[in-house]
Amino acid sequence: MGGTYSLYGRKKDTEKYLHLEDLEEKYMQTFKHNVAAYALDKKHTDMKSLYLYRGYMRVGKAYIKSKYLELTFQTAAYANEWDLCEEQVDDVPWLFRNFSQSYKPVNTDYVYMRVYQRN
Q: Which residues pair with 114 in a beta bridge?
A: 71
If DSSP states are collapsed to H, E and C, what string results for 51-67? Answer: EEEECCEEEEEEEEECC
Q: What is the pLDDT of residues 18-49, one digit of tens each?
A: 999 999 888 999 999 899 989 989 899 999 99
Helix (H, G, I), strand (E, B) or coil at 49: strand
Percent of residues, the chain, with pLDDT higher than 90: 74
Neighbours of 101 (CB within 10 A): 10
Task: Specify the DSSP element, H or E, that contains 17.
Answer: strand 17-23
Q: What is the mean pLDDT of the chain?
A: 90
Task: Calculate the CA 101 to chain-centre distance.
Answer: 17
pLDDT at residue number 1: 43
pLDDT at residue number 87: 72
Q: Which residues pair with 50 in a beta bridge?
A: 9, 62
94 pLDDT tier (thresholds 50, 70, 90): low
Average pLDDT over residues 11-17: 96
pTM above 0.85, yes or no: yes
Helix (H, G, I), strand (E, B) or coil at 32: helix
> Considering only 53-57, 84-88, 112-116, which range has the smallest mean pLDDT?
84-88
pLDDT at residue number 101: 86
* Residues sharing a CB contact under 8 Å with residue 14, sequence separation 6 or more, in sequence order: none
pLDDT at residue number 106: 96
Contact 63, 48 (CB under 8 A): yes
